[in-house]
């Protein structure tokens, strides 16, 4: 009977010890799980802060690309524009909770070559008190590209259109019209062309201080054409070609001597348009294909 009681007592002690050991192990395991969860949460918060910093970079690059898009300014003039626009720190709020945001700090904008600017800046991503900093240098380089432009679509060539006191121009000519020589001599009537006009060799007018030609379309002039323009030509469209030595004014029609007024664009060559634009590259870009604005 004594042996039986002893065995029961020993079994009870073993059970109690097992419970204690399991309890201690459980506490350690719970602490470990909780610690892992907290570490994982902190790591996630750091990643979010880093992503916010990269969002700041993306936003700033896009802002620079938008600002220089279509600009053909010289480098020193563009430098002044960028310094005026971007030489301020700013913060963008990404969410109302947890202070989720990024800051952009422009450190320096400098001219490093005739056609090259550098922008040194940093971004700070913020999330739940965590901050992630990213630094970058953007290189702005002026490049010249050629694109397919307008071409005259008329067929056939008229050697000469001559209008004088004995032969006034008609009320209106239908374009497109291509002529080698256009002469309006001693005639106060206005030549109206409804459509495109192209002159290959010579343009001569003789009346001073009046509008002599109205072109309701585009005006093409071949390279090397001779000008003797006493009055004004008004174009409700684009100018394409050789307007060397002629006053070209992008505004509504007037009557200034030796002046072509136009409402569209001015292109130096028919079929080919040369465009100056600014590309934006990260300094770490491997090749130009990684740049924006090419």
Has this prediction a pTM greater than 0.85?
Answer: no
CA distances for 275 relative to 200, 267, 294, angstroms: 24, 10, 11
Arithmetic mean of pLDDT, 126-150: 84
**Residue 199 or residue 146, greater confidence:** 199
The parent domain of residue 255 ranges over 158-270
Same domain membership, residue 127 and residue 9: yes
* DSSP assignment of 179-210: EEEEEE-S--SPEEEES-EEEEEEEEE--TTS
**Residue 35 or residue 264, greater confidence:** 264
Same domain membership, residue 86 and residue 120: yes
Same domain membership, residue 130 and residue 20: yes
Q: Do the domain assignments include residue 101? A: yes
> 93 falls in which pLDDT band (50, 70, 90)?
low
Share the mean pLDDT of the chain: 81
Q: Do the domain assignments include residue 34? A: yes
Whether the predicted pLDDT of 68 surpasses 80: yes
Q: Which of 12-16, 70-74, 109-113, 179-183 has the lowest mean pLDDT?
A: 12-16
User: How confident is the model at residue 211, as a pLDDT?
Assistant: 75
* DSSP assignment of 124-138: EEEETTEEEEEEEEE
CA distances for 52 relative to 11, 102, 103, 129, angstroms: 61, 6, 9, 13
Whether the predicted pLDDT of 41 surpasses 80: no
Same domain membership, residue 9 and residue 94: yes
pLDDT tens figures, 221-258 = 998 899 988 888 999 999 998 898 889 999 888 888 88
Q: Do the domain assignments include residue 238? A: yes
How many angstroms separate the first and last alpha carbons of the chain?
Answer: 99
Same domain membership, residue 128 and residue 3: yes
Same domain membership, residue 229 and residue 84: no
Arithmetic mean of pLDDT, 252-271: 88
Same domain membership, residue 104 and residue 240: no
Q: Do the domain assignments include residue 153? A: no
Structural domains of the chain, count = 2
Q: Do the domain assignments include residue 36? A: yes
Arithmetic mean of pLDDT, 213-225: 93
Same domain membership, residue 106 and residue 54: yes
Arithmetic mean of pLDDT, 250-277: 85
Q: Hey, what are 223's tokens?
A: 């390279």
> 290 falls in which pLDDT band (50, 70, 90)?
low
Same domain membership, residue 284 and residue 139: yes
Same domain membership, residue 162 and residue 133: no
């Amino acid at each position: 009977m004594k042996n039986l009681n002893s065995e029961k007592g020993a079994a009870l002690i073993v059970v109690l010890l097992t419970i204690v050991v399991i309890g201690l192990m459980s506490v350690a395991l719970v602490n470990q799980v909780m610690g892992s969860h907290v570490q994982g949460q902190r790591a996630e918060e750091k990643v979010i802060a880093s992503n916010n910093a990269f969002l700041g970079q993306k936003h700033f690059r896009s802002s620079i690309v938008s600002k220089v898009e279509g600009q053909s300014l010289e480098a020193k003039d563009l430098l002044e524009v960028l310094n005026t626009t971007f030489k301020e720190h700013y913060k963008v709020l990404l969410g109302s909770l947890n202070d989720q945001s990024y800051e952009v700090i422009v450190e320096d904008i400098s001219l490093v070559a005739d056609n090259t600017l550098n922008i040194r800046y940093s971004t700070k991503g913020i999330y739940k008190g965590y901050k992630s900093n990213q630094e970058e240098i953007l290189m702005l380089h002026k490049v010249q590209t050629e694109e397919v432009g307008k071409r005259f679509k008329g067929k056939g060539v008229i050697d000469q259109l001559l209008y004088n006191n004995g032969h006034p121009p008609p009320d209106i000519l239908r374009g497109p019209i291509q002529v080698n020589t256009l002469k309006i001599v001693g005639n106060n009537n206005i030549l109206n062309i409804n459509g495109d006009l192209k002159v290959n060799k010579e343009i001569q007018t003789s009346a001073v201080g009046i509008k002599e030609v109205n072109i309701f379309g585009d005006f093409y002039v071949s390279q090397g054409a001779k000008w003797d323009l006493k009055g004004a030509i008004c174009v409700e469209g684009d100018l394409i070609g050789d307007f060397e030595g002629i006053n070209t004014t992008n505004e509504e029609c007037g009557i200034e001597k030796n002046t072509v007024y136009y409402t569209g664009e001015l292109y130096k060559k028919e079929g080919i348009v040369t465009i100056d634009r600014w590309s934006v590259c990260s300094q770490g870009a491997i090749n130009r294909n990684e740049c924006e604005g090419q």
